Chain A
């Protein structure tokens, strides 16, 4: 098969609390995302977007159902194993950047390399790699700056560099432009599109329909279920289980 499935969830449920008082955050979500796709996730608050992102990002585990990431079932892994998956396979881009405070851009980008147990590198190598990625996001001249000395857009680019430094198969972005002006937001979106064109798979939560329209697919969640999936460009509705073929890059 030319098309490779990167993310596959099978009837994923997430229930908080037990017994009488419980909240169903996700009520059987089955989605499939291929390598190289750029997918937006939309939905009103309380629809389960964040829960889904947490599960896709291996920060949380489903109560029921299975989550297969790049052919590996991660539903039953322990905390240390999940940390390894997050470190090597997933890069996070948060709305509030979540950079380490009072730590230089370079050190922030180096941090995931420190926790990489598969590929141990010495400090010089780590610095070299981190510097390279920072240059790639256009911050070659800001490496020694601390987060509070950078603009929102610059901070988010540091965060993107940090997300990319271990060369992950998946980038998860949670409203990456939510905290910045339209100019900076535009730049960050361009950067994400460029990453996607280079073959990186991106799943992004957004409230902005226009931003969502520039992705290949938009998954709409309501009440913990997939309400509809829109193929942008074609605009046609399709069922949640439908496997969509795309021309691979």
Chain B
């Protein structure tokens, strides 16, 4: 039972991570396009300034929980995906310091350099996380002799499609975030981008759902227990609601986008169960919630910790989002008494 609970929590941590850091990535990719001068670029950066770091901790927690609850999966997943993970690390490090470094030297070239870093190293992890999850949905070529893939086998059509799908989702998410958190031209350009991007996202989402039928075994769980179709149904519905809400309230559209990311990730998680990483060549070597988990003692211990502390974390993170709920204006960025990036 605890194995199932931890499988669900494992999925939930990744889903929350993508829901939160997703708009950071989206805003980062978009900022050269929706912000035309230095103060507008700083506006974009400052919309994520107070929260991006807390968002990224969900990734560290997802990694830590994979280690604690499913150590065998952690060991294989991280060593088999060594090179893409290295690139993700590389990108997250550079993107992380860029917020702090960008404004610290008063020079146009310096700011431009870090603007490019923010753009490129937001795009790269967004794409690579998608490619990695696409490959996990397909399964990795692993058996008794270990792993038989390379970086290039990961870049297969389905993996790349999932990567593009993730990028488009995060772009939608980031554009909606900027629509409500930025002001003036930045907000207007983001709204117009969000409206245009939506159609492309819809097409790729449909392509993803169809291709998933052929490239993966994710739908098997759904056909054997059709009640689960509710999850992808909500995903599709929330994608449609983004369009509907965008006409009246971008805040509601953003919440719909949050729900979309959560349910898209869970569409994969439900389909994977009980596998965390299926083997694409021999299902006997799939890493499951049972054969790769920690001892019952550790699962119970971690469950107690999670039940007590995760609600506390969520409570104060919501509190901090509320404190910074006001959109960023140009006047905010010119205020000498308020520290901004």
- Tell whether A and B belong to one assembly: no
Hey, which bits of chain A sit against chain B, CB under 8 A? none
